[in-house]
């Protein structure tokens, strides 16, 4: 599931896990590293569901002159994402 705003996934805390399905809550959205960390803290950290993912955009994350987050930066997040998507 892609999530970059609160209303995108309603009642995340109520999602029931099923052993036949692995749920990855993937933080989507572009911007500078500080904005992406803030979004993570608001929408993923409190409601990780089962697994977490993080999306990086080569163009949109850097178009304002910000550096693209490194793998080390992303893996420093809590909870640590198991899935990292680049676009």
What is the residue extent of each domain of the chain? 22-86
pLDDT at 5: 80
Question: Whole-structure pTM over 0.75, yes or no?
Answer: yes
Strand order in the sheet with 24-27: 2-3, 24-27, 51-56, 83-86
**pLDDT (tens digit per residue) in 2-37:** 888 878 888 888 899 999 999 999 998 899 999 999
The Cα–Cα gap between 37 and 66 comes to 14
């Amino acid at each position: 599931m892609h999530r970059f705003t609160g209303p995108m996934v309603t009642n995340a805390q109520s999602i029931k896990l099923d052993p036949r399905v692995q749920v990855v809550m993937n933080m989507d959205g572009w911007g500078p590293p500080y904005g992406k960390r803030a979004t993570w803290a608001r929408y993923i950290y409190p409601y990780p569901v089962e697994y977490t993912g993080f999306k990086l955009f080569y163009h949109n994350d850097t178009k304002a002159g910000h550096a693209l987050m490194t793998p080390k930066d992303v893996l420093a997040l809590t909870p640590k994402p198991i899935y990292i998507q680049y676009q």
